[in-house]
A and B are shown apart, each in its own frame.
Chain A
């Protein structure tokens, strides 16, 4: 069945270090993936997306990697800052569903 999940429920990193948040998916028909950030008291905020015809995409301080062979998605945050503290969700959208399927989320904690 379809399943989007996250390996680590909580990730603690020191300010200035790089963060890597992982996500596994099981639907091989998924062709579009999104990372969202949700801060306390706010709704999910779009960070970056990637289509299945790519294996890497870079944004400002963030990079998303897609490994279709093992159905794995990761979000890398460079030089993590206190403002990056939030819950991060991955979501997938299979071409034949038009629906986003969300993972449970990983909490990123940044300490000084």
Chain B
């Protein structure tokens, strides 16, 4: 266990559905991240939150909407997704985004399938 949990672990949704992914970290960290992991591609950074403020949106389509109510919780709201959005979505946390050598700790991911 890394101290970062994600729910659900698996999600199948249609293109017209609305769903949310949840991430919670128990490490006392201040920075949280969403990554997308597709087959045969490097991890793609999507969003970064530092002290609950969004500091990075890596040109992510608006059908992905993050929410960070506090430093321990991070959500990714999904709406009208496309089949190519099917991937493993990983959450990570680190002590502070401003410290470039802070290790990021990952959750187990949510395997998303869009039909």
Contacts and interface: CB of A to CB of B under 8 A. Distances in A.
B90 interface: yes
A93 B101 contact: yes
Interface residues of B, number: 23
B25 to A, nearest CB: 12
Contacts, number: 55
Contacts of A102: 42-43
For the side of the interface on A, what is the size category?
Answer: 20 to 34
A8 B98 CA distance: 33
A96 B28 CA distance: 25
A61 interface: no
A45 B106 contact: yes
A105 B98 CA distance: 26
Interface stretch (A11-19, A36-44, A62-70, A75-83): A36-44
Interface string B33-52: 00000001111010000000
Nearest to B41: A104
A90 B56 CA distance: 22
Nearest to B105: A46
Interface of A: 4, 31-32, 34, 36, 41-46, 49, 51, 89, 93-95, 97-105
- 10 smallest CB-CB distances across A and B, nearest first, come from A43-B106, A102-B43, A102-B42, A32-B101, A44-B106, A43-B108, A98-B100, A43-B109, A93-B100, A104-B42
Given A43-B106, A100-B43, A100-B45, 18 more contacts: A31-B100, A32-B100, A32-B101, A36-B106, A43-B2, A43-B6, A43-B92, A43-B107, A45-B2, A46-B105, A49-B101, A51-B101, A93-B101, A97-B100, A98-B97, A98-B98, A102-B42, A102-B43
